[in-house]
Structure 1
Amino acid sequence: MTGDRVLTVRALLDTARAEGRTALTAPEGKVLADAYGIAVPGEELATDVDEAVAAAARFAGPVVMKIVSPDTLHKTEAGGVVVGVEGAADVRAAFCRIIENARAYHSAARIEGVQVQELLPQGQEVVVGAVTDPTFGKVVAFVLGGVLGGLLKDVTFRLAPVTADEAMSMLDSIRSAEILRGVRGRAGVDRWAVAEQIRRVSQLVADFPEIAEVDLNPVIATPGGAMAADIRVILAESSTPSRRRYPRDAILLTMRRLMQPASVAVIDASNPKADDILGRKAYKSVTDVPGEVDVAVFAIPARFVAAALEEAGRKNIPNAVLIPSGFAEIGEHELQARIVEIAERHGIRLLGPNIYGYYSTWQDLCATFCTPYDVKGGVALTSQSGGIGMAILGFARTTKTGVSAIVGLGNKSDLDEDDLLTWFGEDPHTKCIAMHLEDLKDGRAFVEAARATVPKKPVVVLKAGRTAVGAKAAGSHTGALAGDDAVYDDILRQAGVIRAPGLNDMLEYARALPVLPTPRGGNVVIITGSGGSGVLLSDAVTDHGLSLMEIPPDLDEAFRRFIPPFGAAGNPVDITGGEPPSTYEATIRLGLEDPRIHALVLGYWHTIVTPPMVFAELTARVVAEFRERGVEKPVVASLAGDVEVEEACQYLFERGGVAYPYTTEKPVAALGAKYRWARAAGLL
């Protein structure tokens, strides 16, 4: 059956192409829908009034009548749709009116007749569609239909094709999901039937790349099923050339030589006649360098790069790091294409051009024009922008964050985020990957790399351009709803990536996630010395999708043993501000001891009784003690107080606790990010 349906649709598309059309007619859409099992109502094509009357008589009850014209895509705008037609006289009148309206709308339009379609019962309108995204390719979409859906743009996207489970997840991903389950006495819809419409559309566009858009609008969902009242299919006007891809093993081999080089050659025009530079022997050409070279770092003007790259190719150097600007970023696309051609011909992978360089700290490598950085650790950071790269460097230095690498990507003429992600996913030194990106050259390759990496370590992305204008000149309702950021948001989430809302968030997540143990359940407990902080921390817990534990009576009684009568158990546990260090310690111990509690959020209030460093030292000591006993739970802390809390927070960060001064939001945001990764990795 699979082969038959492909042949059926292929013949349809070939016919449309041969006739110079970019859209299928309604009867063709019906054939396509039947081939893929997309549920649509019964219908017939009437070429004259008598055929319309006969067709309507074969359907029990009222019918819908629609113009059939390859030149009239927007049938309603053309006055080409009449709903609820019943009886021979009404059918005749509707037929004539539709033809007249269509000719008035487009006098030269080819008219094949009128589609007579059985009228569907009332139900919940939804829209199922697919679009071709420039980054991710074929993407399937689901949105609540009707006026409300159009106003809210309550839409969700997935890469096509989707599985049955992924299709079902889309129904829960819209803000209006409860409407589908039934509200205010109204029965819920057949969710499986709706999900099947999504799955089948996604398979259709995956099988036929030349289909640019599909629109089932509306799909009428009822407790007994889901049926598309109208199907629109638009063909691409031209094919998009595919990007060159490399096998995973080839990527890892090249990246290993880039990130763990045994030898690096710097190609520099600043002093071409020198015999040595800073104690290193200088050569007139890279071809004169003895032995193998893993990386060539280019620090020469753009106009000289091509010739030097040819020499690097003759030397069989596998990686070229192109620091100079002056390429595609200023409109010099031909010059950039030339160096890409040279690199492909010689088997060289290119990093850049237009970058600040890169750091590989575990190799003591600083191949950049920026200041050195050598604090080794588990965080790999990348950026498409040099300015953001400097911000990353300054943040790492200020916070004493240990990094495995900092990499600039610039124009991404070749190497890009999916190459780096593939490497960092396997790199034993890297525990968390954080990436600033403005675009993705190949969204599907990135998703593939992310899906392979996320089960092993967190991936954090800061995607710039959240306010980008949505798809322009879209030929369908689905296309009009597909804005760049909406697609990125859903598909990055689908890949298990943690999306950071801002630069500081990305950097803080990257710093915090390797510190926090993986939670083993969803029960979060707040212990605070300030009622006000407790309220704000509770809000933050809810905002970040976490759950405050309902404290059972025995645990409530246990906490009450350590707090004063005017304090409050429950959750948050308010120990009040005047308590000595022993109260903080006792309640934190209880939170770590009880297996029903999975994560602790601490709210500290600066007092003379318990100074900041005393709180930090006791918390770090208790956490370390429990970790030695095999009890590892995420502990985050918010410290409110005078400037001494800053030192206390740094002390905690260096000893396994994620702590921030002057904020209740940041520690909980970091905890929420850890939970999002744990869920995506299948660890909760």
Structure 2
Amino acid sequence: MAEDRAAAVRRLLDAVRAEGRTALTAPEGKVVADAYGIAVPGEALAADVDAAVAHAARFGGPVVLKIVSPDILHKTDAGGVVVGVEGADAVRDAFHRIVANARAYDADARIEGVQVQELLPKGQEVIIGAVTDPTFGKVVAFGLGGVLVEVLKDVTFRLAPLDTDEAAGMLDSIRAAEVLRGVRGAEPVDRGALAEQISRVSRLVTDFPEIAEVDLNPVIATPEGALAADIRVILAESVPKPRPTYGREQILASMRRLMQPRSIAVIGASNEPGKIGNSVMRNLVDGGFSGQIHPVNPKADDILGIKAYRSVADVPGEVDVAVFAIPAKFVAPALEEVGRKGIPNAVLIPSGFAETGEHALQAEIVAIGERYGVRLLGPNIYGYYSTWQDLCATFCTPYDVKGGVALTSQSGGIGMAILGFARTTRTGVSAIVGLGNKSDLDEDDLLTWFGEDPHTECIAMHLEDLKDGRAFVAAARETVPKKPVVVLKAGRTAAGARAAGSHTGALAGDDAVYDDILRQAGVIRAPGLNDMLEYARALPVLPAPKGDNVVIITGAGGSGVLLSDAVTDNGLSLMEIPQDLDEAFRRFIPPFGAAGNPVDITGGEPPATYEATIRLGLEDPRIHALILGYWHTIVTPPMVFAEVTARVVAEFRERGIEKPVVASLAGDTEVEEACAYLFARGVVAYPYTTEKPVAVLGAKYRWARAAGVLT
């Protein structure tokens, strides 16, 4: 039976396409809805006014009349909808009025008749829909519906298909979720019926990729069910060609040779200072890369004292990576030689491809790479760093501080900002990778590798787009349970100009899809560049929390208030201090201090008060995370506070008690040194800000929940 229904939809869509149309009429939408069990009210098509009267009489009670035209998508805008029509005379009047309005709206519109539909019961208006997102493919939407849907934009998105349990989760993800549960004496809506409608729409668009958009708006949700008052279906002009895909083991095998190479060829290596080929060679040699380096330059016998080869084909033995440092116009023939040599990776530093409008040139190198199985990093990149291999394959400044943070960027300028931040903060990195035009290798390849890399503890990625959002989500879901993934998505409004034929399409035309789906994948989205870098630096430092109870201990009341605000802003929970714990804190603070939460020990207290209260916070198992607010005084100087705090945290760590501890230090410039001291010893500390340490703690909590560490 399901196959018969699918066949009916297939015949209908083929017929619509044969007529050169992309939009289904309301009666055609009813065929689709019935085939997939999408609940809609009773309705019939009236070709003339007498048929409209007869249909209305059969339904009994008030009805809705809607114009049916393949050329009028937005019926309300055309004056093509009349609601609550009852009685023969009223039906006749509404019929003629709707047709006249449609003619006035579009004199050339084809009018097939008027749809007569049962009047829906009163209930909560919501929207259910699906859209083909350029990044993530088929995406399902749910939110508040009605005429103000595009104004309110209270909507959430998920990848299709999804089952009813996943669909039910969408109901709690909108700001007005409480409305669905019933407010001011209203009964809750039938959540199961709504979830079923969402799931059925997701299966429809998955089964028929040529469906670009589906719009059920409004859906009337009541305690007894959910009915779609209107279904709009829009077909795509064309279905995009699928991109080549690689299995997990294929990706890991290629990435292993890229990130842990034993032999590198530099095509365009040069002895001339100022040339990119010279800079790459110097960085490889000076960086201490222990593998083989093979300069390729037909006009040189040696480069920096290393034997040079006229062609990569002349290089003896296996080569893992070919780094290109030649002009764009010479890349394709050199890449052919790389392919014939069987080199699995090409790092394409040159610019002058798609980013400058040379799409054909980029398409040519992609085709060569696919033909020979060469994975391409770039073009238009600064290169890459793999610090644990002492590998610096870039024309930028070297960096060799080994650590657990992997950083990637789509932009060279952002890449250098990453480098500068890492150097200033002494952040240890496992890799820094430029992605540029992403002609082939992209974020999901890197995520797959870094997820398995034992040297990488946290991954941070700057991106302007994703070539394959679904592949990225799949890689993120594999990686997040093992380590945090932080993303800075630039161009948050770039997709807003995309034309849409439905409310769902219009709502999906901004950043909301990225935001929702990245969150569902467990990715921590950073609001800005500095936030991304600070999250990456701090998250490996903090242990995972084991519960939600956060306590603030502060020497300054003002800082305590701001820290409390930041706790709320970052979705954290201030612990309600029980009486026994309150009394325990009061034993250490002066009478004019304040227990509760924040615990205000006041600014004039000696180091012993800080130590005693921090000890209590770490000792009590009901407290799961500490936020410290320090105020610079001569009684407790910054470095004294830092040394005390670090010593106590280290002592508890040795006892097996680890809790995330972050600190905000307010004071003169001495607090900068104190923060650096704390950071190096496992306490994430920042000077002159109450927001940043709490934001980092909030990011750690978001990862812990996404990873299943904290439920």
Q: CA deviation at 1:316?
A: 0.7
SS in structure 1 of the partner of residue 496 of structure 2? coil
| Matching residue of 2:539 | 513
| Matching residue of 1:353 | 379
CA 1:320–1:469 in 2, change beyond 3 Å: closer, same or farther? closer
User: CA contact under 8 A between 2:627 and 2:662: conserved in structure 1?
Assistant: yes
5 Å-filtered alignment, 1:607-622, equals 607-622=633-648
| Matching residue of 1:599 | 625
| Matching residue of 2:117 | 117
SS in structure 2 of the partner of residue 508 of structure 1? helix
**Larger displacement relative to structure 2 (192-201 or 410-419):** 192-201
Amino acid across the alignment from 2:483 = K
Distance 1:528 1:181 in 2: 40
Q: CA deviation at 1:498?
A: 0.4
User: CA contact under 8 A between 2:270 and 2:303: conserved in structure 1?
Assistant: no
Residues 636-655 of structure 1 show CA distances to partners (whole Å, capped at 9, x for unaligned) of 01111111111111111111
Amino acid across the alignment from 2:625 = A
SS in structure 2 of the partner of residue 537 of structure 1? helix
Q: CA deviation at 1:471?
A: 4.7
Residues 398-422 of structure 1 show CA distances to partners (whole Å, capped at 9, x for unaligned) of 1010000000001111101111011
SS in structure 1 of the partner of residue 172 of structure 2? helix
Distance 1:329 1:14 in 2: 38
Distance 1:152 1:77 in 2: 19
Distance 2:547 2:15 in 1: 57
Distance 1:216 1:110 in 2: 23
Amino acid across the alignment from 1:350 = L
Amino acid across the alignment from 1:90 = A
SS in structure 2 of the partner of residue 470 of structure 1? helix
Amino acid across the alignment from 1:75 = K
- Whether 2:327 is the aligned partner of 1:287: answer no
Distance 1:150 1:314 in 2: 54
| Matching residue of 1:45 | 45
Q: CA deviation at 1:269?
A: 5.2
**Larger displacement relative to structure 2 (403-412 or 27-36):** 27-36
Q: CA deviation at 1:169?
A: 2.2
SS in structure 1 of the partner of residue 590 of structure 2? coil
Q: CA deviation at 1:63?
A: 0.6
SS in structure 2 of the partner of residue 12 of structure 1? helix
Q: CA deviation at 1:483?
A: 2.4
For normalisation by structure 2, the TM-score amounts to 0.94
5 Å-filtered alignment, 1:213-228, equals 213-228=213-228
| Matching residue of 1:236 | 236
Q: CA deviation at 1:55?
A: 1.4
Distance 1:635 1:279 in 2: 52
SS in structure 1 of the partner of residue 157 of structure 2? strand
| Matching residue of 2:265 | 265
Residues 247-295 of structure 1 show CA distances to partners (whole Å, capped at 9, x for unaligned) of 1110000000000001111111535333222232211111111111100
Q: CA deviation at 1:4?
A: 2.8
CA 1:340–1:150 in 2, change beyond 3 Å: closer, same or farther? closer
- Whether 2:439 is the aligned partner of 1:413: answer yes
**Larger displacement relative to structure 2 (407-416 or 28-37):** 28-37
Q: CA deviation at 1:23?
A: 1.3
SS in structure 1 of the partner of residue 38 of structure 2? coil
**Larger displacement relative to structure 2 (99-108 or 316-325):** 99-108
| Matching residue of 1:152 | 152
5 Å-filtered alignment, 1:21-40, equals 21-40=21-40
5 Å-filtered alignment, 1:91-490, equals 91-268=91-268, 270=270, 272=297, 273-468=299-494, 470-490=496-516
Distance 1:135 1:471 in 2: 15
Distance 1:561 1:579 in 2: 13
| Matching residue of 2:290 | none
SS in structure 2 of the partner of residue 484 of structure 1? coil
Query: Which residue among 623, 642, 648 is the counterpart of 2:668?
Result: 642
Distance 2:142 2:264 in 1: 51
Distance 1:469 1:680 in 2: 27
User: CA contact under 8 A between 2:407 and 2:460: conserved in structure 1?
Assistant: yes
Amino acid across the alignment from 1:567 = G
- Whether 2:684 is the aligned partner of 1:658: answer yes
Amino acid across the alignment from 2:429 = V
**Larger displacement relative to structure 2 (91-100 or 601-610):** 91-100
User: CA contact under 8 A between 1:471 and 1:480: conserved in structure 2?
Assistant: no
- Whether 2:709 is the aligned partner of 1:683: answer yes
Q: Which runs of at least 4 in structure 1 moved beyond 4 Å after TM superposition?
A: none
Amino acid across the alignment from 1:333 = H
Q: CA deviation at 1:147?
A: 4.7
Amino acid across the alignment from 1:592 = L
CA 1:562–1:351 in 2, change beyond 3 Å: closer, same or farther? same
Q: CA deviation at 1:8?
A: 2.0
**Larger displacement relative to structure 2 (367-376 or 71-80):** 71-80
- Whether 2:613 is the aligned partner of 1:587: answer yes
**Larger displacement relative to structure 2 (105-114 or 295-304):** 105-114
Distance 1:554 1:103 in 2: 77
**Larger displacement relative to structure 2 (504-513 or 93-102):** 93-102
User: CA contact under 8 A between 1:471 and 1:479: conserved in structure 2?
Assistant: no
Distance 1:99 1:312 in 2: 67
Distance 1:526 1:234 in 2: 53
Distance 1:95 1:492 in 2: 47
Residues 309-340 of structure 1 show CA distances to partners (whole Å, capped at 9, x for unaligned) of 11111211100001111111111111111111
**Larger displacement relative to structure 2 (663-672 or 470-479):** 470-479
Q: CA deviation at 1:149?
A: 3.5
**Larger displacement relative to structure 2 (127-136 or 477-486):** 477-486
Amino acid across the alignment from 1:600 = L
User: CA contact under 8 A between 2:549 and 2:625: conserved in structure 1?
Assistant: yes
Q: CA deviation at 1:108?
A: 3.5
Distance 2:650 2:60 in 1: 75
User: CA contact under 8 A between 1:496 and 1:680: conserved in structure 2?
Assistant: yes
Q: CA deviation at 1:604?
A: 0.9
Q: CA deviation at 1:99?
A: 2.8
Residues 476-528 of structure 1 show CA distances to partners (whole Å, capped at 9, x for unaligned) of 11112222311111111111110000000000000000000010110000011
Q: CA deviation at 1:212?
A: 0.6
Aligned residues: 684
Amino acid across the alignment from 1:418 = D
CA 1:270–1:278 in 2, change beyond 3 Å: closer, same or farther? closer
| Matching residue of 2:285 | none
Residues 168-219 of structure 1 show CA distances to partners (whole Å, capped at 9, x for unaligned) of 2222222222222223333332222222222211111111110011111111
User: CA contact under 8 A between 1:649 and 1:661: conserved in structure 2?
Assistant: yes
Distance 2:650 2:89 in 1: 85
Distance 1:17 1:634 in 2: 59
Query: Which residue among 543, 547, 561 is the counterpart of 1:535?
Result: 561
Q: CA deviation at 1:79?
A: 2.6
Q: CA deviation at 1:148?
A: 4.6
CA 1:558–1:591 in 2, change beyond 3 Å: closer, same or farther? same
Residues 555-602 of structure 1 show CA distances to partners (whole Å, capped at 9, x for unaligned) of 111111111111111000111111111111111111111111000001
Distance 1:295 1:504 in 2: 32
Distance 2:269 2:632 in 1: 58
5 Å-filtered alignment, 1:538-577, equals 538-577=564-603
Query: Which residue among 610, 620, 625 is the counterpart of 2:651?
Result: 625
For normalisation by structure 1, the TM-score amounts to 0.98
Distance 2:49 2:328 in 1: 71
User: CA contact under 8 A between 2:136 and 2:470: conserved in structure 1?
Assistant: yes
Structure 2: unaligned runs, 5 residues or longer: 272-296
Residues 518-549 of structure 1 show CA distances to partners (whole Å, capped at 9, x for unaligned) of 10110000011111111110000000000000
Structure 1: unaligned runs, 5 residues or longer: none
